[in-house]
A and B are shown apart, each in its own frame.
Chain A
Amino acid sequence: MKSDVKQETLALNGDEAVAYAVKQSDVDVVAAYPITPQTIMVEKFSEYVANGEVETEFVCTESEHSAMAASISASATGARAFTATASAGLALMHEMLFVASGCRTPVVMAVANRALSAPLNIHGDHSDTMAERDSGWVQIYVENAQEAYDSVIQAFRIAEHTSVLLPVLVGLDGFTLSHTLENVTALSDADVKEFIGERKLINVLTHEGKSVPFKLDPDNPMTMGPIALQNYYFEFKRQQEEGMKNALALIRQVHDEYAKLSGRSYGNGLVEKYQLDDAEIAVVCVGSTAGTMKTVVDELRAEGVKAGLLKLRTFRPFPVEEIQNALGKVHAVGIMDKSMSFGGNGGAVFHEVRHALYDLAERPLVVDYIYGLGGRDYNPKEFKKIFNELRQIAHSKRVHKLVNFTGLRE
C-alpha cells in the first residue's frame, strides 16, 4: 500500500511511539501513574508538557485508581482523555474500568502488558488485560511499535465515535515492545489531527426536558453516573453491548481509512490472516508473538507444510465471524495463550476462539498452548514443535492433550 502524505521515520520504542501518538492526537487531559513497563510513556509525555510541546493538562495522580477516575471525569466534562498503565496498575483500576464503560466515557488507554503478582514480576504477558476482558473496553493488541503508534491514533476515532462511545485499550507487550527500539513511521501532526478530528458529542435528553450535548456543562445540567436499580440497570448494560457491536464495523472502517492515509494496514483491523487461505494447520496468537510466528510459518511453507497464522488484533469486541471464516477450513488449530484462566481448562483466547468455531458444521480441532508467562522467552524452535503437534492432530484427528504448557520445566 502506498501513502500520499509526508511521513517521518523515527527511532522509537513502543512506549515512546505511544507517547508520540498521544502528543499528536490533541489530547486534552492525560491522567496517569507510572508503572514498569509503561513508565517511558508518562516520562516522555511529561517532557512534552514540560517543554510546552502540548496543550494537554497532565495530571500525575497518586494512584492508577485515581488516574482512571480523573480520566473518566475529564472525559465526562467533554475533554479528550488518555491514560496508560500495566499489570498491578490495571488491576487497581479494575473497579473504574467498568465505570468508564458504563458512563460511556471514551477514554483511550495504552497498556504495556505485564504479568500480575504474586510472585512479583515486571515482564510481559497478557494476564493484566485478559483479566479485564469483561470490563466493557474495546481491546486492541499490537505486534510492534509501529502498530502501537497507529493503533493509538485509531483508538481515539473508535472510542469517540457516537455509535460506539466506549473506552478503548491498546495493549503492547511489556519490554518486548515497550522497551525495544524500532523504526516508526509517523504521520504529520496536521494529518493526525485531521484524521481524528474534534470530539463529537451525542445529544441526550436531560431532566430539564432539553436535548443537549452529553457532557457536564453548567449551561445544560445533567446527572451522570446515578444509581439505577432492578428496573433500569439491565437496559444500560444492553446499550453497552450495542456499542460493542457497532465497534466491530467501526474498527474496520477506521482501520481502512487510516491505511489509505498512512499506507499501513493490519489485516482488516480485527484479524490479520497470514498464509491461511489453503492452510491445513494454523496457530492463533495475540500481540508481538505474531512477528516470530510469521517467520516460523515462512520456514514451514518453504518445507511444503501448509501452515498459517491468525493474528487476533481486536479481542473486544470479539470478531466471531472473521474467526469462523479464517479457521473454518483448517484441520487443526493451536491457540497461543499468554495468560491463564486458573481452573478454567485453558486460557482466554482458547476459550473464545473455540467458542467461536462451535457453530460451524465442520470445524477444526483446537488445542491450547499456554506460554511466555512472566516474560518467559520462547523461540521459533518451540513454535515449530507446536506446528508438528498440530500436524499429528490433523492427521490422527485426535487431541491427546487439550491444554499444553510451552516452555515450562516439569
Chain B
Amino acid sequence: MSSKDKGWKEIAPAGVSPKSSIGFMTGDWKTYMPVRDLEKCTTCLMCVLYCPEGAVRWRPEMGKIEFDYSFCKGCGICANECPTKAITMKLPEKEDE
C-alpha cells in the first residue's frame, strides 16, 4: 500500500477499474529483447499475430512493424515463429556505467 493510493470515498464502487493496463508497463520483465533484421523481414505479420502481449505493432502508414518494448516480456515467440528468421533475441546493451 502506498500513500498515493486513493481512499474509499474517492474510488468508484464495486471495483470498477479506473485505469487501462496500457498504463502498466510490463517491459521491464524481460531478459532478452527481440531485434529484427529489416532485410529479412517480409512483413508477413506473424509476429504481430502471435505475440501474447500485443507488443509487436503493425504500422500500415510506414509499411513496417515495430516492437513496443514497454510491453514486450521477452518470451521469444516472435523470434521462434518468424518464418524468415528475421528476429533474434538479444541481451539489451548495457547502459553506460
Contact = CB atoms under 8 A, between A and B. Distances in A.
A and B are interacting partners: yes
A287 to B, nearest CB: 31
Interface in A198-246: 202, 204-208, 214, 222-226, 228, 230-232, 234-236, 238-239, 242
B58 to A, nearest CB: 23
A102 B18 contact: no
Given A232-B11, A235-B11, A204 B6 contact: no
A224 B16 contact: yes
Q: Which of A105, A224, A225: most chain B CB closer than 10 A?
A: A224
B7 interface: yes
Given A204-B12, A205-B12, A235-B11, A222 B5 contact: no
Interface in B1-18: 1-2, 5-8, 11-18
A284 B16 CA distance: 41
Interface residues of A, number: 27
Nearest to A104: B14
A145 interface: no
A312 interface: no
A406 B17 CA distance: 52
A224 B8 contact: no
Contacts of B2: 231
15 contacts: A102-B14, A103-B14, A165-B13, A204-B12, A204-B14, A206-B17, A207-B20, A214-B14, A224-B16, A230-B1, A231-B5, A234-B8, A236-B14, A239-B8, A242-B8
Interface of B: 1-2, 5-8, 11-20
Interface of A: 102-105, 165, 202, 204-208, 214, 222-226, 228, 230-232, 234-236, 238-239, 242
